[in-house]
């Protein structure tokens, strides 16, 4: 740059340009979080209308829901390798393009194949975004802003979930208005329009994210590792002062020299490369994996996914439970904002410890509330088994009369009072959950309520229980005999009838869940993406993040798979107590092993795990 150019760009102007670029950088990256949140939440609003109009079997609908998770797991596994090969910015653009392409594939689909393809593509996008955006932010932002900047990804993710819930609520009101016309054909057509419309609404953010990815610089650390030192320095200058850029570039040079010296020493000893089993790689990798696994083990994804069902079973009406879920997503969004404001002031370790301690209390509180109502449940499996027809299936409308018949077999007098457990259950406000099996495969129904006049019958069929093919059977139960199960009789293992609590109890449960979400959002929810990107050394950061996030998703998948059967067998109380126990492990890991990384450059954090004496680390 000429002397004239240097003087024409004053320090104030340069500082303003830096602030504008950082704001734009956060906006683009935040859109990545928004897409991730939409990926997570959009199916919740679309599912009821897809179920009503598609003609798919329950197994096929489950495949549609799970396709996003499968695509995400697959892409997460390769995201780190792709980020190293193509670059962070390029992969961000490709992940946004995958999302944008998935929407028309889904919304214009007229069969299971194209719908599954679109959902898989949406999952691929989510998996790539979950790795590359936090990675990009960690490598591009200055240490003083990295915490708040990376937290914007989680903040926009929660906004995506809120937006998906509100879009679903908007279409539910429109469906309700059409239903009042009493025209079944018109209602069917509008429900089909509704699920397609819900997906179309999510297209614009994907397009904007792709365009924004073309306008940001590549990661300076990726450029440096590729030998492009000058481009790395130029990239640093867009988001830092010249002094900060020079200092970080010097730290990169020092880190590279240390690595070269270590490689030279190993070559003299007859070794060909630096072992990845060294302390500076193993400890941060294991710590990041533990934090990612524990983060999901708090039950956050299950509580989000089954939130409405939890609130209905706690005593709220269907409409109150849906509004309760909207409030829940808003709490998530607002408290993430609080976490963003605190993460660079109070530090990562402080927020995780505070959040996990509060989560343990909140989940234990909800567990105790459910325990007080579940302790009076009655097992009516013999009475339900007697209702099974010759086709080895059951269709049971659970209304007050049916509830009374089931309870009468256990000694219910119909009064709702008395000394026996069955006598204390009012058949007008009863709930039913059935665990059943065909051969080696077990399934559970959702909770049904006798006071829900619009509820569909409880359906137990072989198709709802058995896996669709041998591959799915292998994952469900590797020791099961699928052929034998296809002709095995229906066995009712449990049929738990309990009393639905009063609405006051439901709102207490809702407050406990809101407390859980508030503490998670301002602590682990914000810090988890920082832990994923900050703890990993530069050499293994991209691939290490992929593996850690894959572990996170596997834990999430496992919990989602066992949630309903576990709740049907043991109750919501046991599930929340289990989540609280997992969170206790999380609290101990953070308290005993997690270092504070606030205000440290990535090179300083790496030096800490290498055991080097670096001032302030």
Residue 615 has pLDDT above 50, yes or no: no
- d(CA 128, CA 546) in angstroms, rounded, equals 9
Other Cβ atoms within 10 Å of 23 Cβ, number: 10
Most confident range, picked from 266-270, 339-343, 452-456:
339-343
**Which of 23-27, 264-268, 512-516, 549-553 ranks highest by mean pLDDT?**
512-516
Encode pLDDT of 368-425 as tens digits.
999 988 877 888 989 999 999 888 999 999 989 998 888 888 776 545 544 455 457 8
pLDDT for the residue numbered 490: 94
Asked whether the beta carbons of 387 and 484 are under 8 A apart, the reply is no
Q: Is pLDDT above 60 for 307? A: yes
Higher pLDDT pick, 47 / 192: 192
**pLDDT tens digits, one per residue of 253-282:** 887 777 677 666 655 554 544 555 666 678
Please give the Cα distance from 412 to 376 (Å, whole number): 13
pLDDT for position 5: 41
Position 219 pLDDT exceeds 70:
yes
Q: What is the largest CA-CA distance in the chain?
A: 96
Long-range (24+ apart) CB contacts under 8 A made by 215-218 are 215/24, 215/28, 216/24, 216/25, 216/28, 216/89, 217/89, 217/140, 218/87, 218/88, 218/89, 218/90
Residue with tokens 């490689």: 263
pLDDT at 412: 62
pLDDT tens-digit series, residues 514-540 = 999 999 999 898 887 777 677 777 677
Residue 56 tokens read as 């798919």
Q: With bands split at pLDDT 50, 70 and 90, how would you rate the model's confidence at 55?
A: confident
Rounded to an integer, what is the distance from CA 383 to the centroid of its chain? 39
Q: Which residues pair with 499 in a beta bridge?
A: 430
- Percentage with pLDDT > 90 across the chain: 17
Which superfamily does 10-216 belong to? MFS general substrate transporter like domains (1.20.1250.20)
Beta-bridged to residue 442, according to DSSP, are: 437
For the cut 80, the answer to whether the pLDDT of residue 452 exceeds it is no
Q: What is the mean pLDDT of the chain?
A: 81
- Compare 149 and 337 and report the one with higher pLDDT: 337
In which band, very low, low, confident or very high, does the pLDDT at 489 lie, cut at 50, 70 and 90? very high
**Could you give phi then psi for residue 313, rounded to 5 degrees?**
-70, -20
**Structure confidence by residue, pLDDT tens digits, 93-102:** 999 999 999 9
Looking only at the bridges linking them, the beta strands covering 490-499 and 430-438 are antiparallel
Which residues are CB-contacts of 390 (< 8 A; sequence separation ≥ 6)? none
Q: Which of 301, 296, 305 is nearest to 47 (CA)?
A: 305
Q: Are 93 and 218 in contact (CB under 8 A)?
A: no
* Residue (of 337, 372, 339) closest to 506 by Cα position: 372
Give residue 366's pLDDT band: very low, low, confident or very high (50, 70, 90). Answer: very high
What is the structure's pLDDT at 507?
93
């Amino acid at each position: 740059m000429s002397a004239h150019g240097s003087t024409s760009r004053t320090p104030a102007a340069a500082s303003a340009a830096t602030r504008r670029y950082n704001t734009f950088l956060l906006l683009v990256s935040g859109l990545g979080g928004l897409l991730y949140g939409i990926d997570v939440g959009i199916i919740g609003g679309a599912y009821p209308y897809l179920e009503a109009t598609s003609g798919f079997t329950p197994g096929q609908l489950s495949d549609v829901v799970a396709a996003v998770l499968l695509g995400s797991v697959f892409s997460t596994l390769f995201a780190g390798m792709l980020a190293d090969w193509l670059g962070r910015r390029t992969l961000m653009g490709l992940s946004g393009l995958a999302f944008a392409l998935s929407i028309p594939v889904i919304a214009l689909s007229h069969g299971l194949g194209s719908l599954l393809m679109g959902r898989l593509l949406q999952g691929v996008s989510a998996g790539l975004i979950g790795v590359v955006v936090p990675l990009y932010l960690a490598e591009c932002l200055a240490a003083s802003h990295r915490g708040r900047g990376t937290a914007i990804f989680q903040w926009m993710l929660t906004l995506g979930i809120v937006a998906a819930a509100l879009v679903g609520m908007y279409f539910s009101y429109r469906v309700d208005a059409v239903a009042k016309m009493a025209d079944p054909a018109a209602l069917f057509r509008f429900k089909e329009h509704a699920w397609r419309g819900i997906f179309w609404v999510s297209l614009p953010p994907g397009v904007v994210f792709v365009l924004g990815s073309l306008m940001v610089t590549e990661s300076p650390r990726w450029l440096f590792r590729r030998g492009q030192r000058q481009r790395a320095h130029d990239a640093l200058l867009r988001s830092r002062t010249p002094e900060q850029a020079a200092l970080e570039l010097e730290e990169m040079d020092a880190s590279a020299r240390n690595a070269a010296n270590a490689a030279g020493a190993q070559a003299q000893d007859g070794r060909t490369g630096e072992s990845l089993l060294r302390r500076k790689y193993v400890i941060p990798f294991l710590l990041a994996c533990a934090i990612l696994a524990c983060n999901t083990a708090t039950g956050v994804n299950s509580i989000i996914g089954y939130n409405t069902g939890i609130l209905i079973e706690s005593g709220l009406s269907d409409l109150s439970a849906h509004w309760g879920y909207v409030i829940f997503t808003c709490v998530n969004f607002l408290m993430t904002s609080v976490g963003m404001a605190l993460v660079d002031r109070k530090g990562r370790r402080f927020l995780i410890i505070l959040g996990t301690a509060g989560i343990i209390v909140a989940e234990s509180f909800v567990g105790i509330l459910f325990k007080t109502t579940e302790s009076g449940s009655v097992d009516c499996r013999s009475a339900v088994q007697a209702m099974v027809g010759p086709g080895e299936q059951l269709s049971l409308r659970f209304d007050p009369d049916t509830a009374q018949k089931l309870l009468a077999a256990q000694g219910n007098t119909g009064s709702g009072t008395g000394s026996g457990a069955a006598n204390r259950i009012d058949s007008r406000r009863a709930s039913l959950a059935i665990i059943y099996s065909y051969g080696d495969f077990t399934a559970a129904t959702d909770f049904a309520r006798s006071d829900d006049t619009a509820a569909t019958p409880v359906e137990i069929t072989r198709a709802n229980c058995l896996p669709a093919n041998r591959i799915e059977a292998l994952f469900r139960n590797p020791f099961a005999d699928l052929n034998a199960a296809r002709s095995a009789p229906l066995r009712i293992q449990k049929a738990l009838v309990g009393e639905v609590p009063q609405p006051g109890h439901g709102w207490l449960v809702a407050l406990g869940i809101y407390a859980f979400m508030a503490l998670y959002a301002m602590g682990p929810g914000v810090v988890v993406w920082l832990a994923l990107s900050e703890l990993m050394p530069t050499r293994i950061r991209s691939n290490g993040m992929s593996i850690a996030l894959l572990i996170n998703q596997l834990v999430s998948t496992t919990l989602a798979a066992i949630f309903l059967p576990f709740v049907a067998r043991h109750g919501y109380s046991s599930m929340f107590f289990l989540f609280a126990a997992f969170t206790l492990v999380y609290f101990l890991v953070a308290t005993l092993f997690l270092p504070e990384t606030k205000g440290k450059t990535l090179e300083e954090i790496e030096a800490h795990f290498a055991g080097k004496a670096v001032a302030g680390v």
